[in-house]
């Protein structure tokens, strides 16, 4: 299980790494909210442990932006704020669980296990499909015509957003926000990710599903719609 820890207390982070490493978990850490949001959007995690009081961007804003970007990764808020209004605010921002400091590490572990189990159960039968292209939201496996596609996390996220919107177009701004939130990198990194996505999804196949709409963005379509879109672009 891969877990992102967004926490600025270095001693606490060190304790979490020591405990969970010994149990076979893979942990990544971010010392502030902005870095945490970027990692949470661009990398696939099974769960996120999120502190409330963080430098640069507080945990509740990180969580709201993460949900606005369409990411449903289970989030456990870990904070010293133990008043009922704080807990309600955390859940309303999109938290899946809430644990107050101080806490016991075994309790955090079982809570994370429960969150991940529920999330995998929710997504087990949810499969996005456009033509012969499928994306299983439970396993995160993508296939086309029965062949497995090997996608980087950023490409998989782009594919998810495009397939959910299909056959409608998705603007460049929306795709960039899905990957990087409000802090996109310099240069046209989106074009590079779309290129990699096309190589995997369309490269080996005669029918091309991913279409570029000049000055608008991209869409993924199948069958006659794809043919019409291709002719219009040409």
Q: Can you give the pLDDT at residue 122? A: 59
- Give residue-wise pLDDT tens across range 97-126: 989 888 899 999 999 998 888 877 654 457
Global pTM? Answer: 0.55
Tell me what the mean pLDDT of segment 200-210 comes to.
92
Closest CA to 108 of 154, 77, 153: 77
Q: Which residue has the higher pLDDT, 81 or 145?
A: 145
Q: Can you give the pLDDT at residue 55? A: 93
Q: Can you give the pLDDT at residue 229? A: 37
Percent of the chain with pLDDT over 70: 93
Q: Can you give the pLDDT at residue 78? A: 87
Q: Can you give the pLDDT at residue 227? A: 38
| Integer Cα distance of 59 and 168 in angstroms | 33
Task: Write the DSSP assignment of 134-152 as a string of letters.
Answer: EEETTTTEEEETTEEE---
């Amino acid at each position: 299980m891969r877990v992102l820890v967004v926490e600025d207390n270095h001693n606490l982070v060190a304790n979490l790494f020591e405990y969970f490493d010994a149990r076979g978990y893979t942990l990544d850490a971010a010392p502030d909210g902005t870095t945490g949001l970027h990692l949470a959007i661009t990398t696939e995690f099974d769960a996120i442990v999120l502190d409330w009081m963080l430098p640069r961007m507080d945990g509740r804003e990180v969580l709201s932006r993460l949900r606005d970007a369409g990411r449903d990764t289970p989030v456990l808020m870990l904070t010293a704020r133990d008043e009922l209004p704080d807990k309600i605010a955390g859940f309303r921002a999109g938290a899946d669980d809430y644990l107050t400091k101080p806490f016991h590490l075994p309790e955090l572990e079982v809570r994370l296990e429960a969150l991940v189990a529920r999330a995998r159960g929710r997504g087990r039968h949810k499969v996005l499909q456009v033509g012969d292209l499928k994306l299983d939201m439970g396993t995160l496996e993508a296939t086309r015509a029965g062949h497995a596609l090997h996608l980087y996390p950023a490409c998989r996220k782009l594919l998810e957003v495009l397939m959910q919107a299909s056959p409608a177009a998705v603007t460049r701004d929306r795709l960039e926000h899905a990957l990087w939130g409000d802090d996109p990198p310099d240069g046209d990194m989106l074009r590079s990710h779309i290129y990699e996505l096309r190589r995997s999804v369309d490269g080996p196949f005669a029918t091309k599903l991913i279409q570029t709409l000049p000055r608008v963005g991209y869409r993924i379509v199948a069958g006659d719609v794809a043919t019409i879109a291709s002719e219009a672009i040409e």
